[in-house]
Amino acid sequence: MTWTLVQLWNGGVTTRMPVAERRAQLVEAALSIAAAEGVRAVTVRRVAERAGVALGVVHYCFADKDELLGALATRIVDDLTGAAADAALEPGDGPDLRAALEVAVLGAWALIEKTAGEQLLTYEITTHALRTPGLRGVAERQYAASQAAAERLLGLAAEASGASWQRPLADLAAEALAFVDGVTLRWLADGDGPAARARLSSFAGYLATQAAVPDRPPRRRRKAAP
Amino acid sequence: MTWTLVQLWNGGVTTRMPVAERRAQLVEAALSIAAAEGVRAVTVRRVAERAGVALGVVHYCFADKDELLGALATRIVDDLTGAAADAALEPGDGPDLRAALEVAVLGAWALIEKTAGEQLLTYEITTHALRTPGLRGVAERQYAASQAAAERLLGLAAEASGASWQRPLADLAAEALAFVDGVTLRWLADGDGPAARARLSSFAGYLATQAAVPDRPPRRRRKAAP
DNA sequence: GTCTATAGTTGGATAGAC
DNA sequence: GTCTATCCAACTATAGAC
């Protein structure tokens, strides 16, 4: 057997660790592998190797591989939701709804474009979950989180320009989400960033037609806390 | 070794077959497995078993598993493109562009809704191809075919109602494709057909605002902001 | 040219050591 | 409670028979 770097660092002796901490470490290892090489590359063996622990440790922490992948999916959802929340903190300001929406949508896109591997990974997790009986519910949770983030973003954009949506926010958020999803997937396939941005910009224009801007002056948002 | 049904049918003797025909048979077997259980379930062994041939036959017909999956991807693209072409043959008729678009889009959707397994499979193939160096180009070809089908459908819908698009058809088709892709993926996850149709109907309304009808001015949802 | 039999690798899971 | 050593099932690929 060859020693991993972590084990060598610990003097050749594997450190014992409470199971909760170990699980987090293993999920982290799984994430780094999956983002770089896809879910297919996430094997129990490679996760153990990456984390610097013996093979069986993974099976001690997770009942089976599916449970590990479920934990990985949760981790990703939290990740993206958190990032989206950060993006929602800085929506476009000013009286022009169309401009505010463009800033919001393209801001979200900037985040997506920086994390191509993770984005591709979310699609992989979705399809994998839909094919795996033990992972029922993962895809639903993914969309529930994204939907909430989209609603928050659209709500803030409208608020910033004093506009009000003429249709249920949930419907508009769902449509925006679908569009961004489709644009992202195609971008992953053809790598055409400018085309993707143009499509998103066009969609922002459509969204702007779904709100009414009253004559009273827009309410300006408070600046985000430091 | 256990005999497969096909081998028993042939009297226990495996029939010899020209390689081209064999390849088609194997791709067919791979498709039936993939549509039902996902790409993950497509192994060289199972394809051979499903086709009723020995394991090595697959490796005789295809250099390696990637080549088999590439052939499978091509088969799927042809399949869907052909189906889309059939759908495009019956676009909505009449002077109302919005209605024609709704018929066209919901017609395409009816096709999608009937083939959930195949639809999920296309997303799996896309992500799989994007992660597999040997399958570079598969995802691009997938989108090229879909794009062409979408352009054809939108072109016919406009033609049927005597309208003309005010923006490049390629751009509109790409946007429609992205939207349908996103809606489909979410539908696969949550199974909410009515919600999906409502989103598509809404998008048809947006598309209708992107064309001009010669006899009458294009219908605008709202007055543009000053 | 077509197919069979077999090799060699990698995977998920577990019994039991510490 | 935490981890090690081991098992065996399933996979891809090939050498060579017919």
pLDDT tens track of chain A, all 226 residues? 333 444 444 443 447 888 999 999 999 999 999 999 999 999 999 999 999 999 999 999 999 999 999 999 999 988 888 877 777 666 555 678 899 999 999 999 999 999 999 999 999 999 999 999 889 889 999 999 999 999 999 999 998 888 999 999 999 999 999 999 999 999 999 999 999 999 999 999 999 999 998 765 545 444 444 4
* Dist. CA A156–CA A160, nearest whole Å: 6
Angle at B161 between CA B112 and CA B88, to 5 degrees: 30
Q: Nearest residue to D2, CA vs C1'?
A: A16
pLDDT band at B8 (very low <50, low <70, confident <90, very high): very low
Q: Which residues of B touch A (CB under 8 A)?
A: 37-38, 40, 120, 123-124, 126-128, 130-131, 139-140, 142-143, 171, 174-175, 177-183, 185-186, 188-190, 195, 198-199, 202-203, 206, 209, 221-222, 225
* Dist. CA B73–CA B65, nearest whole Å: 12
Query: Does any strand C atom come closer than 7 Å to the Cβ of A134?
Result: no
Q: How far is the CA of B115 from the C1' of C9 (A)?
A: 37
Cβ distance B182 to A186 less than 8 Å, yes or no, reads: no
pLDDT digits (tens, 9 = 90+) for B95-149: 788 999 999 999 999 999 999 999 999 999 999 999 998 898 899 999 999 999 9
pLDDT of A92 = 54
* Dist. CA B22–CA B58, nearest whole Å: 9
**A contacts of B221 (beta carbons < 8 Å):** 209
With residues binned 3-state (H G I as helix, E B as strand, rest as coil), the percentages for chain A, rounded to 5, are: 75, 0, 25
pLDDT band at B217 (very low <50, low <70, confident <90, very high): very low
In this prediction the pTM is 0.88
The DSSP output letter for B164 is E
Q: How far is the CA of A63 from the C1' of C17 (A)?
A: 20
pLDDT of B139 = 93
Chain A window 30-59, residues with Cβ within 7 A of nucleic strand C: 43-46, 55-56, 59
- Kindly tell me if the per-residue pLDDT of B10 is higher than 70: no
Neighbours of B214 (CB within 10 A): 8
